[in-house]
């Protein structure tokens, strides 16, 4: 028996006993000779211990106020130069219209991220939150990654904690998980050497958690990284979670090469997607949720992922640009009925949640009205 297979037997014993896995375990889980189905079954055990048969979704929309960006991350197909005809900056009227559309469709969340515009001041970014929270107070604003917060720190000459407290006053509800890519400098320096490094990423999430803001975390895989970098990435996330407990959900993000500077790299296979998801479920024992982001995985793989460690399939989604600019062929959105049906087809029970994992109970006579029910966040 190979070393990796031998190791896998001890990993199975550890997981069944509720023990924590280490770096060598993580590396063994990425060894090709360890069958994916075995890893998936183990991840499913953890997933069902935490969440039973439930699979979560939400009703959400995306808002990317600008695609103009000072940086040129090699994996990014979304960004635009300042004078490129592709570049845009949304007006307050366009932002209100987007909020109204979200409200009319029963959205509980807006996911707001974008480029770092060469000319827009900090007040413009803050003003977007203030405007939306005043006009649509029932919609949770999950906004700005550490890359943007680091940029605001530079623009406003204020500390990360001061910026976050100020954005919270303006309506910020939580932080998305983006900008993490791969933390290890051997990879990060090759794909996005200029933007916020791993220290900044963790500084922002730690400060957010200390202010009582929940956040998500991600990992962009399938480009220049090796298994070692992925496991290292997961262990760094687990360490902060031990300290703060502020992460809700881990979302593995597959690299999509189209229209990026890395077009020679092939998009990861569905098997690689499932392995990354399952390994994350096994390594991140203290992060409550693992999400199969259907926009990026494709609907069929996201469905299978619900048996490979994922307990959340993201939301109905509207106006997703970042993955579609990079060649994603998934639809722009799913209806609520369709997302429930997709979950039910896998044998799981769909539960609508809000951004911070409370159950949502809709008024049967008016879909736009809802009550927030019981907390669904599984114990660590
Ligand atoms: S990933 Fe973000 S920071 Fe990097 S170029 Fe794209 S928009 Fe800019």
pLDDT for position 377: 57
- Which atom of ligand 1 lies at the shortest distance from residue 70's CA? 8
73-77, 131-135, 209-213, range with the lowest pLDDT:
73-77
pLDDT for position 5: 85
Mean residue pLDDT across the chain: 93
Nearest alpha carbon to residue 40 among 300, 274, 235, 345:
274
Total domain count, the chain: 1
Nearest alpha carbon to residue 143 among 163, 158, 159:
163
Mean pLDDT of 280-299: 94
* Residue 209: C-alpha distances to residues 47, 104, 205, 245, 355 (Å): 24, 31, 6, 8, 15
The encoded tokens of residue 12 equal: 């199975």
Q: How far is the CA of 116 from the centre of ligand 1 (A)?
A: 8
Q: Does the pLDDT value for residue 35 go beyond 90?
A: yes
Identify the band that residue 380 occupies on the pLDDT scale cut at 50, 70 and 90. Answer: very low
Q: How far is the CA of 69 from the centre of ligand 1 (A)?
A: 6
Any domain includes 380: no
Any domain includes 7: no
* Distance of alpha carbon 243 from alpha carbon 221, whole angstroms: 25
- Which atom of ligand 1 lies at the shortest distance from residue 195's CA? 3
Mean pLDDT of 268-292: 97
* Distance of alpha carbon 113 from alpha carbon 323, whole angstroms: 13
Percent of the chain with pLDDT over 70: 98
33-42, 138-147, 159-168, 322-331, range with the lowest pLDDT:
322-331
Mean pLDDT of 81-85: 93
Pairing of β 358-363 and β 366-375: antiparallel
Looking at ligand 1, which residue's alpha carbon is closest to its atom 3? 71
Distance of CA 197 to the CA centre of its chain: 18
Q: CA gyration radius for the chain?
A: 20
For a mutational test of ligand 1's pocket, the pick from 79, 113, 255, 256, i.e. the residue with the most ligand atoms closer than 8 A to its C-beta, is 79
pLDDT for position 363: 86
pLDDT for position 1: 60
Each residue of 86-118: pLDDT tens digit? 999 999 999 999 999 999 989 999 999 999 999
Each residue of 297-328: pLDDT tens digit? 999 999 999 999 999 998 887 777 776 777 77
DSSP letter string over 303-327? HHHTTTT--EEEE------HHHHTT
26 neighbors 235 (Cβ within 8 angstroms)? yes
- Which atom of ligand 1 lies at the shortest distance from residue 69's CA? 8
Any domain includes 25: no
Each residue of 44-66: pLDDT tens digit? 999 999 999 999 999 999 999 99
Nearest alpha carbon to residue 136 among 96, 186, 176:
96
Any domain includes 341: yes
The residues, ordered by sequence, that sit 6+ positions from 93 with a Cβ below 8 Å of its Cβ are none
Q: Using CB atoms within 10 A of its CB, is residue 228 exposed (0-12), middle (13-18) or buried (19+)?
A: middle
Any domain includes 256: yes
Which domain CATH number covers 72? Answer: 3.20.20.70
Distance of CA 53 to the CA centre of its chain: 22
Any domain includes 309: yes
57 neighbors 333 (Cβ within 8 angstroms)? no
- Which atom of ligand 1 lies at the shortest distance from residue 192's CA? 4
- Domain residue limits at 316: 52-375
Residues having CB within 6 Å of any atom of ligand 1 = 69, 71-73, 76, 78-79, 115-116, 147, 192, 195
Any domain includes 46: no
Q: How far is the CA of 358 from the centre of ligand 1 (A)?
A: 31
Looking at ligand 1, which residue's alpha carbon is closest to its atom 7? 115
Mean pLDDT of 72-78: 90
The encoded tokens of residue 109 equal: 């969340």
Any domain includes 33: no
Identify the band that residue 334 occupies on the pLDDT scale cut at 50, 70 and 90. Answer: confident
* Distance of alpha carbon 328 from alpha carbon 298, whole angstroms: 8
Nearest alpha carbon to residue 196 among 234, 245, 147:
147
Q: Does the pLDDT value for residue 379 go beyond 50?
A: no
* Distance of alpha carbon 309 from alpha carbon 234, whole angstroms: 15
The encoded tokens of residue 56 equal: 């979560």
């Amino acid at each position: 028996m190979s070393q990796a297979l031998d190791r896998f037997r001890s990993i199975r014993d550890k997981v069944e006993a509720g023990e924590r896995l280490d770096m060598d375990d993580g590396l063994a889980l990425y060894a090709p000779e360890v069958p994916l189905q075995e890893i998936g079954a183990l991840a499913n055990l953890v997933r069902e211990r935490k969440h039973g048969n439930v699979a979560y979704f939400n009703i959400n929309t995306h808002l990317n106020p600008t695609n103009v960006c000072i940086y040129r991350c090699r994996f990014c197909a979304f960004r635009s130069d300042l004078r490129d005809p592709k570049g845009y900056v949304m007006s307050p009227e366009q932002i209100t219209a987007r909020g109204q559309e979200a409200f009319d469709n029963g959205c509980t969340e807006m996911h707001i991220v974008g480029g770092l515009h060469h000319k827009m001041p900090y007040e413009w970014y803050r003003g977007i939150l203030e405007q939306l929270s005043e006009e649509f107070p029932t919609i949770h604003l999950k906004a700005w990654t550490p890359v943007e917060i680091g940029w605001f720190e530079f623009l406003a000459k204020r500390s990360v904690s001061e910026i976050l407290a100020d954005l919270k006053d303006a309506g910020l509800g939580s932080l998305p998980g983006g900008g993490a890519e791969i933390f290890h400098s051997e990879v990060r320096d090759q794909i996005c050497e200029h933007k916020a490094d791993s220290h900044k990423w963790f500084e922002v999430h730690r400060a957010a958690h200390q202010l009582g803001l929940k956040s998500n975390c991600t990992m962009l895989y399938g480009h220049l990284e090796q298994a070692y970098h992925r496991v290292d990435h997961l262990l760094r996330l687990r360490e902060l979670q031990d300290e703060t407990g502020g992460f809700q959900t881990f979302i593995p993000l597959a690299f999509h090469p189209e229209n990026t500077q890395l077009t020679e790299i092939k998009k990861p296979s569905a098997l690689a997607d499932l392995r990354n998801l399952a390994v994350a479920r096994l390594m991140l024992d203290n992060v409550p949720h693992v999400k199969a982001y259907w926009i990026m995985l494709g609907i069929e793989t996201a469905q299978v992922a619900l048996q490979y460690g994922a307990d959340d399939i993201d939301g109905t989604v509207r106006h997703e640009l970042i993955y579609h600019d990079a060649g994603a062929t998934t639809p722009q959105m799913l209806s609520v009925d369709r997302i429930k049906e997709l979950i039910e087809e896998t044998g799981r029970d769909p539960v609508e949640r809000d951004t911070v994992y409370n159950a949502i109970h809709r008024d049967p006579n008016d879909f736009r009205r809802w009550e927030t029910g019981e907390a669904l966040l599984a114990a660590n």
